[in-house]
Amino acid sequence: QITRGNPEALTAEIIFDHVRLNDPLALSLRDTACLMLARVLGQILNLLSPSLIVLCGGVMKSADLILRKVVEYLPEYSLGVMRKHCEIKAGELGPDAGVIGAAAYALMQIRKTGDSV
């Protein structure tokens, strides 16, 4: 229904637009995605005990609809002591964060080794 019979047209933006309209299917899709993300983050928390997890990318334009739900599911998949010392937040660099990070890393390596790309 969301894509009028064309599942290839489904995007995160469309889903989150429909979440804001309280569409039951969109809410279910969002909840499933957040549950899976909570599982992965729970594993990261339990294994690495980070103090900060930053979620980035285009989908985080809807962080207001994602983070709260992920944090709600997280206790099922992580130890309380690990969650207590870790902040989970949306990145501030927008959808190009990965590219910016890769470029910054490349520059650091060039400065460290003196090599060129």
Q: Tens digit of pLDDT for each residue in 9-39?
A: 888 888 999 999 999 999 999 999 999 999 9
The 3-class secondary structure across the chain, one letter per residue, is CCCCCCHHHCCHHHHHHHHHCCCHHHHHHHHHHHHHHHHHHHHHHHHHCCCEEEECCHHHHHHHHHHHHHHHHHHHCCCHHHHHCCEEEECCCHHHHHHHHHHHHHHHHHHHHCCCC
Q: Which domains are assigned to the chain?
A: 7-113 (3.30.420.40)
Select, from the ranges 6-15, 33-42, 76-85, 88-97, the one with the highest average predicted confidence (pLDDT): 33-42
